[in-house]
Amino acid sequence: MDQDKFGSKDHLKLSKTTAQFYKLENLEKQGIGHISGLPFSIKILLEQTLRNLDHFQVNEDDIVALANWQPKQKSEKEIPFKPARVVLQDLTGVPALVDLAALRTSMSQLGGNPAVINPKIPVDLIIDHSIQVDSFGMPNSLQINMEREFERNRERYEFLKWGQKNFKNMRIFPPGVGIVHQVNLEFLANVVQMKDNICFSDTLVGTDSHTPMVNSLGVLGWGVGGIEAESVMLGQPIYMQIPEVVGFKLTGKMNPGTTATDLVFRVVQILRDVGVVEKFVEFYGDGLSGLSLPDRATISNMAPEYGATIGFFPTDNETLHYLKSTGRSPEVIERVEHYCKAQGLFRTDGMSAPGFSDEIELDLSTIEPSMAGPKRPQDRIGLSDMKHAWAKTLTASVSQRGYELKENELSCQTQISLSKSEKPFTLAHGSVVLAAITSCTNTSNPFVMIAAGLLAKKAVEKGLKTKPWVKTSLAPGSRVVTDYLQQSKLDSFLEQLGFFTVGYGCTSCIGNSGPFSEPISKAIIDKDLVVASVLSGNRNFEGRVHALTKANYLASPPLVVAYAIAGTININLLEEPLGTDQEGQAVYLKDIWPDQSEISEITSLITPEMYLERYSNFETLSPLWNEIPTKGDEVYEWDESSTYIRNPPFFLNMSKELKPVTDIVDAKVLVKVGDSVTTDHISPAGAIAQNTPAAAYLLEHEISHADFNSYGSRRGNDQVMVRGTFANIRLRNQLAPGTEGGITTYLPSGEQMSIFEASEKYKDSGTPLIVLAGKEYGTGSSRDWAAKGTYLLGVKAVIATSYERIHRSNLLGMGVLPLQFKDGNSPDALKLTGKESYSILGLSDGIKPGMELTLKVDDQEIPVRLRLDTPVEIEYYQNGGILHTVLRNFMKDVG
């Protein structure tokens, strides 16, 4: 690397050493850019290019372009991003390690040294997405669920231990430590790093779309697909267009009775209306001083929900306070303060705002108690409007909700009982059958967690109880949450309402809600009831939380408890009583809602020692993890009989030489979908249902239904995953009208069949396949298998009206060609049925970023844009994907 091409290196005096850093102000002194007027997030991007200048991956013009960032001009310039570290959760981490293991196998087969394939930057993998709520409402639910987790995932965890032993630069956090984002916030992120006596801003990418939660600390990072993360781990930069930065000014203060959850629902609603996809959002203004760091984390966490790449908060005094209160060392805190102030990265009240591409303002005093749902996080509903909104939901069109009840169906209900000894109760439309305090969004925030505990305490003291049909669960984001709930004795009140701790990880938010009792499931199915879930998470897409809950609402933790007591969505909590007390007097939400002074009194019990103790022994925390043996050599020994871990076919028959890029001719449409199809619709997720191709595969391999586990847990097996791609129960493939789920029409015969079965028939005939899609294709989590499964189904190209950032990148990473309709066109506007014959013309080795190609549909020629946006992406496509590129580069490096 060119250590100091621009003469920007400077000294930073700390109490125990004098460090160095690349001072951005020195660029401005040389007449390069207007550094002092840049958004904080752009400054961090600029610093990492300056520090990584090597005239190969990072060039001088990258630095100059960022230094001259213009707020009102959208840049077409692509720049490299070389993050300092990577974080993985296990659902994406296992396939990432599978791919690394497969790279080692291929390297060995091609005559290279497999041991050279290791992460080149620090990688932390937190096992947090495999816990499922099998047991709930009991003191030993946590133990039962963890034992079941280890039973189901034994093969995966043995493989991860192999990876921990054989890959350098990798650290694994066992199950039961916490959720990846909360662990990142409370422990991993130090805001400013120091390596080789050089100080620099902490930067990262993560394989979960909610990685931006750490933006609340002033750490720049976002979610990427597993494919991109693997390439970063292997030394490749991420190439990105210089982003627009939307400034979001906060003023005023929150009113008593409102929470950070209420605030983030309003932020999501505003930013979805504005449109911030592929943009940075940076919060500023004196209103930030009234927001605690956990409140900011709640807002940063939901950046994917408002569509932004990041939701960034600059470092300030509140950041330093949080670092101290979570047990960071005095040296780290000193380094953060001194570096950020010297680098112009420290926010203070009254400071001049940077220039922004666009500006939005929100008065915090206007925030009201809210929910979001029934199927999108941006659909905010004021708590006072919930009952009215629910009535409209039941009669909304099928296209809007997936169900539409007629007048004579609105009052449908049924009497059931959970056992012969219990009294029967009524289940109806709107019954809340699942109430879950889950997800990093809120469990990382002591204020709302304590509020939930205090509300539970007041409810119990009034004699209120949870309704018997509600499945309750509490899944804290870290063990520290349990510590402060126990310290304040609030845990016992939550438990009296059924909210026992069921695990430390992501549960209902990703569909790991576990089964309902048989009588409840049967009643919902037999009567086709539209029942609801209420969860304190960030995602409520169709079919995600639970297959039987057609309406899913996001809410703050105290409101989750309140709805568990109410037992129905069909209530106005601000005007109707939750129940009656021991004297028969009506009890309203306002009677048990905690005030700010009560919450503040208990938050004072949280100490830095709690964090230090919980993270000091994370590697040996779990006896179940410690019992798993560590075995294997540098090349993994694949077990062909395994239904969890298989050598993926991505590198089969791979040659050292490139194959020419050619047109895609006479392709057929496998799937045609409308707008806002998410990666949850595409990627296999949740439970593996009976009577599906994936179930048939497992049964053929003598796996009983009780041991199917989830798709997420089987992400290391390509045969299971490809069978579950495009198989979400709420997917509506327009090629098979009137159906839901993974069904398509096999066009040669006109026969309806599973998408997997059709793809196999097309492969047998050598027919290339495409996907047609509308706007915002691939919205949602950074699911690499949404792209891997698409590739394995034989799809050569996706043609969409527009894409969500991560999914487009992932498709490219697997060698699937992303194309975009031009001039506002869409499949519907062009009257494409999907039954035509399709050819993509103009493909060759000479393709250029963003060039126009021709889509030939029967005899019609339609211009489309090639969504390979940089020369590097062209190289990836020519190689067949990112990993193929990396492997060929490794072969070149070792001769």
> In the prediction, which pLDDT does 396 show?
85
What phi, psi does 412 have (nearest 5°)?
-60, 130
Query: Which pLDDT score is estimated for 582?
Result: 92
Give the three-state DSSP class for 578: coil
Q: What pLDDT was estimated at residue 413?
A: 87
Determine contact, residues 777/683, Cβ cutoff 8 Å. no
Of 446-455, 479-488, 507-516, 599-608, least confident by mean pLDDT is: 507-516
Both tokens of 114, joined, read 């497999």
> Which token pair is 351?
């400071």
* Confidence at residue 64, expressed as pLDDT on a 0 to 100 scale: 96
Given a contact cutoff of 8 angstroms between Cβ atoms, the answer to whether 604 and 588 are in contact is no
The chain-wide mean pLDDT, for the chain, equals 93
Same fold across 84-241 and 243-367: no
pLDDT of residue 669: 98
Q: Can you give the pLDDT at residue 761?
A: 98
pLDDT in tens, 849-885: 999 999 999 999 999 999 998 788 899 999 999 889 8
Residue pair 367/251 in contact by the 8 Å Cβ criterion: no
Helices (H) and strands (E) in the chain, counts: 33, 34
pLDDT at residue 194 is higher than 90: yes
Summarize pLDDT for 358-371 with one digit per residue, the tens: 999 999 999 999 99
84-241: CATH number: 3.30.499.10
Structure confidence at residue 782 (pLDDT): 58
pLDDT at residue 664 tops 70: yes
What distance in Å separates the CA atoms of residue 474 and residue 456, rounded to the nearest whole number? Answer: 13
Of residues 741 and 261, the one with the higher pLDDT is 261
Note the pLDDT of residue 5.
81
Pairing of strands 413-416, 425-428: antiparallel
Q: What are 572-605's pLDDT values in tens digits?
A: 999 999 999 999 999 999 999 999 999 999 999 9
How far is the C-alpha of 113 from the C-alpha of 367, rounded, in Å?
59
The SS3 assignment for 427 reads strand
Top pLDDT among 705 and 141 is at: 141
Burial class (CB in 10 A: 0-12, 13-18, 19+), 56: exposed
Following DSSP, what letter does each residue of 609-675 receive, concatenated? HHHHHHHHTGGG--HHHHTS-----SS----TT-SS----GGGTT--SSPPPP--EEEEEEEEE--T
The C-alpha atoms of residue 482 and residue 505 are separated, in whole angstroms, by: 13
Per-position DSSP letters for 349-388, written without gaps between them: TTPPP---SEEEEEEGGG---EEE-SS-TT-EEEGGGHHH
Whether 1 shows a pLDDT value over 70: the answer reads no
Q: Judge whether residue 781 has pLDDT over 80.
A: no
Lowest mean pLDDT among 259-263, 626-630, 813-817: 626-630
Model confidence at 893: pLDDT above 80: no
Instruction: Tell me which CATH homologous superfamily contains domain 653-683+725-893.
Output: Aconitase, domain 4 (3.20.19.10)
Domain boundaries, the chain: 9-69, 84-241, 243-367, 370-610, 653-683+725-893
Q: Which residue has the higher pLDDT, 575 or 654?
A: 575
pLDDT of residue 3: 62
Q: Please calculate the CA angle 688-694-698 and round it to the nearest 5 degrees.
A: 95
Residue 736 and residue 306: Cα distance in Å, rounded?
A: 31
Q: Kindly state the helix (H) or strand (E) to which residue 860 belongs, with its residue range.
A: strand 860-866
What is the share, in percent, of the chain residues with pLDDT greater than 70? 99
Strands 238-241 and 310-312: unpaired
Those residues with Cβ within 8 angstroms of residue 83's Cβ, 6 or more apart along the chain or in another chain: 48, 121, 203, 204, 205, 221, 232, 238
- The Cα–Cα gap between 892 and 895 comes to 5
Neighbours of 736 (CB within 10 A): 21
Contacts of 390 (CB under 8 A, 6+ apart): 430, 551, 569, 570
Model pTM? 0.86
301: CB partners within 8 A, 6+ apart: 181, 210, 212, 213, 216, 264, 311, 440, 441, 444, 538
| Model confidence at 185: pLDDT above 70 | yes
For domain 370-610, which CATH number applies: 3.90.1150.10, 3.30.499.10, 3.40.50.1220, 1.10.10.10?
3.30.499.10
Burial of 626 (0-12, 13-18, 19+ CB in 10 A): exposed
The token duo for 771 is: 């996907």
Average pLDDT over every residue of 740-750: 95
- Whether 148 shows a pLDDT value over 70: the answer reads yes
Residue 438 and residue 536 in contact, taking contact as beta carbons nearer than 8 Å: yes
Mean pLDDT confidence for 292-298: 98
Question: Whole-angstrom Cα distance, residue 894 to residue 108?
Answer: 12
Checking 612-617 for CB contacts under 8 A at 24+ apart, the result is 612/327, 614/478, 614/479, 614/480, 614/483, 615/183, 615/186, 615/187, 615/327
DSSP 828: T
pLDDT at residue number 493: 98
Average pLDDT of the residues in 126-148: 95
Contact 587, 581 (CB under 8 A): yes
Q: Residue type for 19, please?
A: A
Is residue 819 within a helix (H) or strand (E), and if so which, with residue range?
strand 817-821
Cα separation, 298 vs 250, whole angstroms: 15
Beta strand segments in 179-244, E: 192-195, 198-201, 203-206, 220-223, 238-241
pLDDT range class, residue 78, cuts 50, 70, 90: confident
Q: What is the pLDDT of residue 390?
A: 95
Q: Which single residue is written with the structure tokens 């790991």?
A: 512
| Side-chain half-sphere CA neighbours of 254 within 13 A | 21
pLDDT of residue 894: 61
**What's the chain's Rg over C-alpha atoms?**
27
* Average pLDDT, integer, range 627-636: 88
| pLDDT above 60: residue 2 | no
Give me the mean pLDDT over the 817-845 stretch.
95
For residues 657-663, average pLDDT: 93
Angle at the Cα of 494 from the Cα atoms of 488 and 499, rounded to 5 degrees = 135
How distant, in Å, are the alpha carbons of 424, 435, 469, 517, 519 from that of 414?
Answer: 10, 20, 12, 15, 11
| CATH number of the 243-367 domain | 3.40.1060.10
